[in-house]
Structure 1
Amino acid sequence: MTDMQFQWGNNKRYNDFPSSFKRRFSERIQKISIDAGFTCPNRDGSKGVGGCTYCNNNSFNPAYCSPKKTVTEQILLGIDFFNTKYKAQYYLAYFQAYSNTYGSLDHLKQIYEEALSHEKVVGLVIGTRPDCVSDSLLSYLEELAKDYYISIEYGVESLNDRALEAINRGHSYQEAEKTIMRTSGRGIHIGAHLVNGLPFDTPQMMIEHAVKLSNLPIDTLKMHQLQILNHTIMAKEYEVEPEKFYLFEMEEYLDFVVDVIERINPRVSLERFINQAPKGWLIAPKWGVKNFEFVDKLDKRLVERDSWQGKLFKEIE
């Protein structure tokens, strides 16, 4: 199989997002994270308080990213930051912190259009929850998608409502599926996100979650291992009941990811497999590997097992 070219156009054993992105854009494209000061319905009291039990946005926000700065200021700082590293030619404004569709349509239009007004910004990536997306917003984004790259990343997290309830998520899986279906067919790139290791989710269930999601009209799947982070509700729960959480060992997780890859729809591109918390934030599990090191190990494990994305894929009817 080593010289085989797969249906996604190269000999990599899974449909990796960077390659699919390069096929779409001829220039290098870099995401610039933006914190536009949003909150979430399970944080502001409309559905709950405290947010998701695992959440600490400070653990992944870049230094230049702050709601105290305007969208334009954050874009300019982000461009300065990445120019010194990559000399990137164009950018996507990545609305990442909290639920970035949770506001009035007028406000959303204002901040999205502010981001798109920069000549080097060619699109938006909008991270949000499936219960914070109206049909009027989708119609607006559908219009934007005629001229720009527009992506919505839905935090699905689990397909098990018991797990969603345990993390104070505030929505069901059914809501996620319905919203993905409402978003499809509009020219909007659809991403979905899963966390592997939540309470009440077993490894077999987690595999089934990824497979079922890959049968929906999503374009990209992101997943990562559950991490217990400092200054979260989950950290306090972990201290009292560590057995509630499924924390993978790294070698076990490598095989788990291969099990997922060989069963999911080959049409879906895979953007991420692990999360990497900054030093000082992580309580457990402490693997000590960077993203690129994990991907290198994954490539080798796929060769060892002579596996590839979709090898065992069966369409769900």
Structure 2
Amino acid sequence: MSQQQIFPWGDSRRFNSYSRYFKNLFGERVQKLTIDAGFTCPNRDGKVARGGCTFCLNDAFNPSYCSPEKSIRQQLEEGIEFHVKRYQKASRYLAYFQAYSNTYAPLERLKEIYSQALDLPEVVGIVVGTRPDCVDEEKLDFFAELSEKKYVTIEYGIESCYNDTLERVNRGHTYEQAVWAIEQTAKRHIKVGAHMMFGFPGETRARMLAQSEILSKLPLNTIKFHQLQIFKGTHMAKEYEQNPKQFRFFGLQEYIDFFVEFLEHLNPSFVVERFAGEVPPRYQAGPGWGLVRNEQLVSMLDKRLAELDTWQGRLFGASER
């Protein structure tokens, strides 16, 4: 197939990329600004469990300007200044509420927090990271109203489609709860995102790959993936130290090849925000890939897709034919 083949998402890139999606939507680059609004999580405060997910360490992903001690406006203004110096490309921004569960508060508190973010003229929308057990119909109705005026995505941490895995990592919710939350969000015409992780103990390659077809049936707009990384100070780090044979980590090229195969079966309408994670080595308690940046990973994926002359969704629905 020619490199200039136009794929279902409207360009010649071999997967439905997040950067193209926003350029088409807004006509220019849009940068996400991570915000820590001081939320907690029902998996930490005792409502569901204590201790959180065994793999969780939010500090590994929060940028330096991001702190709940600062106001929403201050974090946004510092984030804009940071990105102007670093990229000098974006003039419009999405406020990304990432840390913990950003719908885990009374509705009035949510209204206050999200109105602060949307008060800045440079902010064209919000991305709200949360758990599927932290939304209800009243909260979703509120986000539906916001989405009529601004860009809104609710991003749910699914992590795995298998309940035995979710229980093993102390996730505190089921896959069925994730399906309910996603369907209720999409029903209100709010954009829906999802987050998945590959490499949990006990999940074979075949089992991980099978999730591509499971997820493809959901009404998702965006999706992102991370390979399992073990962070210092987490419960999983203790498990790894005590029994390292339970864990099997992807090598870099192995992961690229795995993800290509996963991508071939993935719904081509899903916008792939990212397919791997990077964190500073100082946080890692297990083997990593060194100082490989996200831009390099994307370049490797593009190259491998071209070498194999394949693309996202090439085998989508093949098992049903």
Same fold (TM over 0.5): yes
Report the structure, 1 or 2, having the larger helix content: 2
- Choose which of 134, 138, 141 in structure 2 pairs with 1:139: 141
Residue aligned with 2:285, SS: strand
- Choose which of 294, 298, 309 in structure 1 pairs with 2:297: 294
Q: Structure 1: which 5+ runs fail to align? A: none
Over 3 Å counting, the alpha-carbon distance change for 1:316 and 1:45 in structure 2 is farther
Inter-partner Cα distance in structure 2 for 1:132 and 1:315: 35
Kept in 2: contact 1:130–1:175 (CA 8 A): yes
Residue in 1 that maps onto 2:270: 268
Residue in 1 that maps onto 2:21: 20
Q: Judge which range, 284-293 or 258-267, deviates more.
A: 284-293
| Shift in Å, 1:315 | 7.2
Q: Percent identity?
A: 49
Residue aligned with 1:126, SS: strand
Inter-partner Cα distance in structure 1 for 2:14 and 2:41: 37
Inter-partner Cα distance in structure 2 for 1:174 and 1:279: 35
Residue in 1 that maps onto 2:188: 186
Q: Judge which range, 27-36 or 128-137, deviates more.
A: 27-36
Q: What is the TM-score with the length of structure 1 in the denominator?
A: 0.97
| Aligned-residue CA RMSD (Å) | 1.3
Inter-partner Cα distance in structure 1 for 2:17 and 2:157: 20
Inter-partner Cα distance in structure 2 for 1:163 and 1:275: 20
Q: Structure 2: which 5+ runs fail to align? A: none
Q: What is the TM-score with the length of structure 2 in the denominator?
A: 0.96
Inter-partner Cα distance in structure 2 for 1:82 and 1:300: 28
| Shift in Å, 1:3 | 2.2
| Shift in Å, 1:262 | 0.5
Kept in 1: contact 2:19–2:29 (CA 8 A): no
Count of aligned positions: 317
Residue in 2 that maps onto 1:237: 239
Question: Structure 1 segments of 4 or more deviating over 3 A?
Answer: none
| Shift in Å, 1:155 | 0.3
Inter-partner Cα distance in structure 2 for 1:86 and 1:225: 26
Inter-partner Cα distance in structure 1 for 2:126 and 2:189: 13
| Shift in Å, 1:316 | 8.0
Inter-partner Cα distance in structure 1 for 2:287 and 2:230: 7
Residue in 2 that maps onto 1:281: 283
Kept in 2: contact 1:248–1:285 (CA 8 A): no
Kept in 2: contact 1:146–1:187 (CA 8 A): no
| Shift in Å, 1:189 | 1.4
Residue in 1 that maps onto 2:202: 200
